[in-house]
Amino acid sequence: MRRLARRAHIVAIAREHFFQHGFAGTTMSAIALTLGGSKATLWSYFASKEALLEAVVRDTTEVVQRDTILSLPTDGDPADRLTELCRSMIERACSPIVTKLIRLIGPLADQQPEIAKIFFECGPGETLDLIGEYLRNQFPDSVWTADYPAAARDLLGLSITEIQLQRAWGVGHKITAADKEKRARHAAAVFLRAYGKDAVSIPHDTACANPSMQS
């Protein structure tokens, strides 16, 4: 147990170094100095900086999945349930730790594809799986498609693409609660217009309003 706690502490310290300095700018020596131990101790836990980064990615995506739980309501109107799901996806996308992780992993995708793959599988990939299963279980009579993975990708994209791009690149104004709510309602409405069997009942102004968050 003590070794596990020590390992978790190392990963937490390494995460801050990677977030602040990037992969190239982070050294095992600097991490060991922050830890207050020797490099030999650090190496006994992680054989390389790449192995430590992998641990940081796995641990951080687990933290995100745990601390920003997707809301998957099972009762209520389909539009209301989808809007609540979109709200929770947007909150996750706006998490500072998610933005930092994307900024860290993005530049490494070509040089370290395995790390990028781990990030996708443990983060966005797992989220897409959850959304797809939710749609399959909760909306089989409300949507015309049986391709739930594709529907999940579209719903996630409608909800967070603009927000995540702006946050990743540090552009646009600070996203407010009103921005998030407008985006969630827009995403749910457009999704139901595209996939809903009864799309005619979705208010046209809600589905087509542009919730742009440009400053």
Span 110-145, pLDDT tens digits: 988 999 999 999 999 999 999 999 999 999 889 999
**CATH code, 15:** 1.10.10.60
Question: Are 155 and 84 spatial neighbours (Cβ–Cβ below 8 Å)?
Answer: no
Span 131-190, pLDDT tens digits: 999 999 999 889 999 999 999 999 999 999 888 887 777 776 788 899 999 999 999 999
Q: How far is CA 115 from CA 31, 63, 109, 119, in A?
A: 20, 17, 7, 6
Enter the pTM of the model: 0.80
DSSP state for residue 1 in the 8-state scheme: -
pLDDT category, 212, cuts 50, 70, 90? Answer: low
Give the least confident one: 27-31, 62-66, 93-97, 126-130.
62-66
Q: What is the mean pLDDT of residues 201-210?
A: 51
Span 33-87, pLDDT tens digits: 999 877 888 999 999 999 999 999 999 998 888 777 778 888 889 999 999 999 9
Q: How far apart are CA 83 and CA 53, in angstroms?
A: 35
Do both 114 and 14 map to the same domain?
Answer: no
- Return all residues near 181 (Cβ < 8 A) that are at least 6 apart: 87
Query: Residue 129's domain spans which residues?
Result: 61-208
Please give the tally of structural domains in the chain: 2
Q: What is the pLDDT of residue 203?
A: 53
**CATH code, 177:** 1.10.357.10
Do both 32 and 89 map to the same domain?
Answer: no
**Could you identify the residue written with the tokens 């739930």?**
148
Do both 193 and 131 map to the same domain?
Answer: yes
